[in-house]
Amino acid sequence: MNGNQQGQTVVDTISSNSPYVLYNPAQIPDGFLGSIRITSTNGKPLVGQMSEARTTGTIIQLMSNLALGGTATIHLPLWYDNYTATGGNWVSGVNVQNADSGINNITATWFDQAGNPALTQTATLNGTYDTHNFYDTALNNFVGSVVIQSTNGKKIVAVSNILNYAGAAGADTAMAFNGSNR
């Protein structure tokens, strides 16, 4: 979470239009919390999907597409914070990563369903690969959206997770999606 590289860089060749699976490299310790950056060394475009899995609890796996490029403004169309109207305990979190070099100052603004600002928080990303998690905003029973902006115009990417901690076994309890620049 501090932007320092962990372990060795993994390098491989992927044939055109073919899948490649990269599992957690052995040198990444259990309990690691951070991010990954995948780049094409020959300029060819890449697409991908990320999954998070755990072996305990009711939330088994989250999946999302890998973010492409970066943008100075990211929109998250859905944010829950302690939302219980549907009988669950839905909560959101978002991991924002600096996709540019140098210090990147970001501002996240939550908007209620009427489009009114409800909360603003700031963070500083200290270099390429540095990340920040926005979660547990203490907006009680909140449903809305979030706009995250780089205040100095540098690129960022973001992945948001939404979890229902009170979800019944076999019911939908998690989703993940990338922030959009539109």
Residue 24 located in a structural domain: no
Tell me if 29 is assigned to some domain. Answer: no
Q: Is there a domain that residue 157 lies in? A: yes
Number of separate domains in the chain: 1
Contacts of 137 (CB under 8 A, 6+ apart): 81, 110, 119, 121
Q: Cα dist. 31→4, 28, 80, 96, 127 in Å?
A: 16, 9, 26, 19, 23
Kindly report the CATH number assigned to the domain that includes residue 132.
2.60.290.11
**173 falls within a domain:** yes
pLDDT at 58 over 60: no
Does a structural domain hold residue 36? no
Which range among 61-75, 81-95, 103-117 shows the weakest confidence by mean pLDDT? Answer: 61-75
Is residue 138 one of the residues assigned to a domain? yes
Across residues 93-106, what is the average pLDDT?
Answer: 92
- 5 pLDDT band (50/70/90 cuts)? confident
For 162, the domain range is: 50-178
Q: What is the pLDDT of residue 131?
A: 86
Question: What whole-number distance in Å separates Cα of residue 176 and Cα of residue 123?
Answer: 22
Token pair in block for residue 104: 């990147």
With the CA atoms of 52, 63, 175 and 69 taken in that order, what torsion angle do they form, in degrees rounded to the nearest 10?
110
95 inside domain: yes
Q: At 60, is the pLDDT very low, low, confident or very high (cuts 50, 70, 90)?
A: low
Q: Which two tokens stand for residue 92?
A: 């959101």
Tokens 């973001």 sit on residue? 158
By mean pLDDT, which of 42-56, 101-115, 117-131, 138-152 is the weakest?
Answer: 42-56
- How far, in Å, CA of 124 to CA of 102, rounded? 10
Q: Is residue 20 part of a domain?
A: no
